[in-house]
Each structure stands twice: as C-alpha cells, then as structure tokens.
Structure 1
Amino acid sequence: MRPNARRTTLADIAQAAGVSVATVSKVVNGRGDVAPHTRSRVQELLHQHDYLAPVFRHSEVVESPTIEVQFQGSLKSYVAETLEGIIDSAAASGASVVISKASHAPHWARDLVSAGRRAVVAVTSVYTTTHLNELARSGLPLVVLDPLHLPDSRVHSVGSTNFAGGLAATRHLLSLGHRRIAYIGGPAMAVCNQARMHGYRAAMEAEGAQVPDAYVRPGEFTYETGLLGATALLGLQEPPTAIFAGNDEIAIGVIEAARTRVLRVPEDLSVVGFDDTSLAQMASPPLTTVRQPLREMGGAALRTALRLANGEKVESHHIELATELVVRASTAPPREETSARG
C-alpha cells in the first residue's frame, strides 16, 4: 500500500466481489458458512488489495496475543528444546503459540494476520528479502532464533556467544595436551558456524598450533556431516587427536566414525560438541559440549515477540546469551604416540 493511499475497506471488497459486506466479514473471520467459490474469490481480492483485517481489539492484544512459531526441517533435539522454552514463556506470559512448519506460500504473511497472529518467531527458518518485505507490509514483527545469516535491520534475533563457545571448546582440548585439533561445522556461510569456527581458530593461533586446510570441514548441522567428515579426517596421513564439532549431532556422527575404525573415545580421539541437547547426555561416552541455553533463548525470543506485538520499543535488534563448557567423558589427554606438537 502506498503511504498516502486510502485503506481498502470491507465494502470495497464486497463491491468488487459482488457479495454483501457480511459475506466478506465471514471470510475475514474464518467462518465456515460461505460457498467455496465465493470464499476463494473474496480471499483473492483481499490479497490483491493488501487488505489487513483489524482482528484485534486493544484488550485482546494486551491480554492474549497469539504468536506463530515456524521451523524448517525435522523436529530435532535443538528445535524441540527451543520450542519448550517458547511454550513455557508463552504460558507464563498468558500468550498463545501456534507451531507450524515454514511454508512461505503466496500471501502467507497476510494469511497469518487474517488468522489472528501478532508476530512470528522463527527457529532454523530462512527468510529472503521477499519474505521480509511481505512481513513488513503485513505489519508482523519477526524474531529469529540463532540466525543462520546476518539479520536484516528489520529483523530481531536471539542467539548465544558462539565465538566464546568455540574458544572455550578448543582451549579445553589444548589444555589437555592436544595440538592436532580439527573442526567439523555447519554451512560455511552460516553466522553461528563462522563464529564457532573463528573461536576455534583464535584459540589455535594463540597457542601456536597449526590448522591444516584439511582440518576445517564445513557441512550441515547433521549426523551425516559428522560421520563423513570424521571418516575423511581419520583417514589422513596425520589425523587429528581431537575433533571439535559444530553441534551435538555432528559430534555423534564423529563418535560413530571413530567406532567403525575401532578407535576409542576418548582414549584414541577426543570429541567436543556444541548445544548440550539431550543427545549429549545420551551419547556413549557422555559428550563434552558447549552449552547453548536453548530454552532460555526460546523464552527470550517469545518475550521479544510479545513486546514488538504490543508496539513496545526493543532496545537491541540482537540478544546474545552466554554459553558454557560442560565437561563430560568424551575428552581426555592424547595418547603419547599421537600427541606430536603441531
């Protein structure tokens, strides 16, 4: 809609569709007593005219807003734990959440507004400029959890101290006496992956430990990336004695790769993960990892979304919560015959 253009009314839509204002109102409010072809025609006109329904009274915005929570991919431990934080925070705030998989179908943002959503919280979802423009036109605030890419200035985000976490993980391995330490991470251009990798490199450089090109392997935040990456690393002429994995799933894949080569963790290979999901405690052996406060991050994202939905000013576009190294049984000093200094 142009800045000074007159806002489209229900009467305008009704006239264009050749139906009554009452019929258009039923479509806007999701009533079922409208013929399918009429509903389709009215919805198309609503989209064409960028119609935004005033579906909330002020008291409804304050008392019980509804937040759309979207995620992509499968419901893995990382997503499940952040969702728990979102749901708990919503319950404490008296808000409602609707959880869905991101689809980005045509007019998806306006459909969310029509359905009564007041903001969107995204977990592992990727939004293009087109998506952001539609959200802006719809007036829906967006809060992204642990963004994969540098957020647009219109986007609020919640993450953790990824660089500090990468630094702590690598320093832990160095303190045990490891010098041949490799990194297997997620997508090369993902902001969180870059921060973890740079933390790793900073610790190695400070200690004077070499980082061969083959020791840094990007991929996806998946078990398969850990399995394939570690298989390649352990097949090198001078394999690492320790591997820092970009998340717990990758770390589990690393442990399996070691097992298939009849290597013991941590006696033959030390492994550190990132996130501290439930997988870390169930791993064999239990995984040393960097705790990302996933539930707290989910709660912070939900509270930020509620503030934006109520028109409040949020001081920072990005919030970072502290990470913490959790030492378990997957790390130990290197065996003497494999602890050559790099």
Structure 2
Amino acid sequence: MKTEVTGDRVTLAEIAEETGSSLSTISKVLNGRADVSKATRERIEHALHDRGYVRRGAGRSESRPELLELVFHGLDSIWSMELIGGVEAVAKEHGLSVVLTVSGDRHAPDPDWIDGVIRRRPVGVVLVFSEISPEYRERLRARGISFVIVDPAGDPSPDVPSVGSANWSGGLAATRHLIELGHRRIATITGPEDMMCSLARLDGFRSAMNSAGLPVDPAWVRFGTFEIAGGRDRARELLALPADLRPTAIFAGSDMQALGTLDAAREAGLAVPHDLSIVGYDDISLAPWVSPPLTTVHQPLRRMGEEAARLAIRLSDEQPETTPRMDLATNLVVRESTAPPAE
C-alpha cells in the first residue's frame, strides 16, 4: 500500500532516509541525469514509486512542460505520418505540443531516448510498434509520466496500457475476400515473426483457409519486413515457384509490402488483377492512387493515434483500477487490385 505524503520536501527526505542516498542524488534521478549508477537509480525509483511520491492528480502540475512525446523506431513510412496526424490533433485540443523521438532499431533501441524523455518531463509518452522494459516503465512511473503503446510489438505486460486494432479479423476478411472471388492458391507475406500483429494477421489468414477447406502450403507463407523492399523480395520468391504451386493471389501484411508485390508482379510480366490479385493492409493514403488502386484492410491509424494520445493524457491525471486496453475495428476496402482468377 502506498503512503500518502503532504509535500515534496517531506517525501524527498523520507526517500533519502530509506535509500541511504543524498537529496542531490535523488534530485539527479528525478531529473534524468546520467551520472548515477544503475543500482542506485533503481533503488531510488522503486522507493519513489512504493512510497507514493507520484500521487494521484500530480501528473499535470503547473511546472511541467506542456508536451506529449511520440516515440518511433523510425519515421520513414506513410504509416508513421498517419499516426502522427492523430496524435497531433488530440494534443492540439489539449494545448499540448508534440515532441517526436526516434529510438532506433526495435531490437536494440538507443538507451538515450528514455533519458531524453525524463529530462523533458512530458505529460505522457506514446510509443509506436514497440515494447517497454520493466526498468523503463519504472523510471517513467516514478516521475508521474504516463505511457501508452500503439500496436505493441509483442504481447504487452498486463500493466501496460495499449491501443491496437483487430489484426486477426483483418487477416480473416482479406483472405475470405480472395476465397469468395474463387482463388484457391493464396499466399501471404506477413511481417517479422516476432511481432504480435504479424502473427495475428497470419492466424486470420490460416483460419479463413481452414474454414474453406483449403490447404496452406508452407511455401505460401513468407515473413519479411513491413517495407516495400520486404514485400518485393518475398513476392519474387513466391512468383518464382513452379507453375502448379505459384499463387494466383497474395495477401500482404501491409500496404508497403503490397506495393513491393506490385513491383514484383510487373517484373514477372503479370497483370494485376488479371494474372495476380493483391490485397494489402493499413489503407494508407496512397492506396487509392496506385495502379491499380489497392484493395486493402483499413486499419484506423489516425484514430489509433488519437485514442493513444487521449489515453496518455487521461492517465496523467488519474490511475484507473484496471489497465486500459483498446482494439479498434478493421474493415475491408475493395478496389481494383483483386478479381477472380483467370484460370
């Protein structure tokens, strides 16, 4: 049970006595200074959290900068821009400015990003396509900085708030559409094997195929990055299969992969959708403008950004009894990149 305190001076004195640290060391930890050992920092952060230094309602103090931090691994796709637009819209409603931070490689993020967040002391943090370690969660909570993950990379810890979408349903709808058109040799290109959204879309694909009594040849399932190059490379492999194994339709796990698949089809001399049907995922702003316009699963990216921002702001003012989780609905948007098979 957390101890309610009457003021920062008393709280810091109690923390200093409990941890055997000086007030200056505690101040360094609170301000994100790097010149404190990891063991000392963790001991102080645990004490701050356990003793209730961050009290309910303390998140939006007058001295705190009016910032909302948005953390990406990279900013090199249209997908990112959709989310940014949603976060910025909500931040503006609340009189907040948005700070963009790039944390680097998903598997080995630059540890400096968390130090920067702590120095800036934003109202909240929205992390995209990410995971957050127990250490980083503790550091943010000890300072009253709320956080929310959008489209978590893995299965988030039960105490991590998140906003995602119905990935399984999206994969199911995309594959059922192709089956209803008459396709039987359907392949899928999905994202990295260690990402929850990739596996959920793949599970939806498998469920649709199994329900229709159609086999899923292992050769028809390919993993790659969610980028154009990832889609193009995996599609080249699929289109190089022997004629009796070559798919007549491909469900791509992202629109960027679908654009790469379109490139591979052109290289192979195939007409889309006459020779090959393609379904994407995300419904990015470019999807209606490619040739042919892309059939895709609409993922409400902008709204995901909006809801994550609202949640981060709300959590800065209150601590709900249960961890908020939100999965938004997806829907299929049929355009001109799919048609019945020619054979």
Same fold (TM over 0.5): yes
* Residues 305, 314 of structure 1: alpha-carbon distance in 2 compared, 3 angstrom cutoff: farther
Cα pair 1:109 1:140 within 8 Å, conserved: no
Counterparts of 1:58-69 in structure 2, within 5 Å, are 60=61, 65-69=66-70
For residue 71 of structure 2, what is the aligned residue in structure 1? 70
Tell me the distance in 2 between the aligned counterparts of 1:236 and 1:157: 40
For residue 178 of structure 1, what is the aligned residue in structure 2? 183
Q: Which amino acid aligns with 2:126?
A: V
Superposition RMSD on alpha carbons, in Å?
3.3
Show CA shifts across 1:61-113 (max 9, x none): 69974221110123311111011000001112333321111266557545523
Identical residues among aligned pairs (%): 41
Residue 195 of structure 2 corresponds to residue 190 of structure 1? yes
For residue 96 of structure 2, what is the aligned residue in structure 1? 95
Counterparts of 1:43-62 in structure 2, within 5 Å, are 44=35, 50=44, 60=61
Cα pair 2:281 2:296 within 8 Å, conserved: yes
For residue 8 of structure 2, what is the aligned residue in structure 1? none
Cα pair 2:191 2:253 within 8 Å, conserved: yes
Alpha-carbon offset, residue 280 of structure 1: 1.2
TM-score of the pair, normalised by structure 2: 0.81
Show CA shifts across 1:255-310 (max 9, x none): 10010010000000000000000231232111000000001000000000011111
Cα pair 1:82 1:297 within 8 Å, conserved: yes
Tell me the distance in 2 between the aligned counterparts of 1:314 and 1:63: 25
For residue 14 of structure 2, what is the aligned residue in structure 1? 6
Runs of 5+ consecutive residues of structure 1 not aligned to the other structure: 17-23, 31-41, 337-342
For residue 127 of structure 2, what is the aligned residue in structure 1? 122
**One of 209, 213, 228 as aligned partner of 1:223:** 228
For residue 157 of structure 1, what is the aligned residue in structure 2? 162
Residue 318 of structure 2 corresponds to residue 311 of structure 1? yes
Residue 299 of structure 2 corresponds to residue 292 of structure 1? yes
Q: Which amino acid aligns with 1:217?
A: R
Runs of 5+ consecutive residues of structure 2 not aligned to the other structure: 4-10
* Residues 132, 315 of structure 1: alpha-carbon distance in 2 compared, 3 angstrom cutoff: closer
* Residues 225, 59 of structure 1: alpha-carbon distance in 2 compared, 3 angstrom cutoff: closer
Q: Which amino acid aligns with 2:341?
A: P
Tell me the distance in 2 between the aligned counterparts of 1:176 and 1:58: 53
User: Which region of structure 1 is more displaced relative to structure 2, 76-85 or 44-53?
Assistant: 44-53
Cα pair 2:130 2:151 within 8 Å, conserved: no
Q: How many residues align?
A: 314
Q: Which amino acid aligns with 2:324?
A: H
- What SS does the aligned partner of 1:264 have? coil
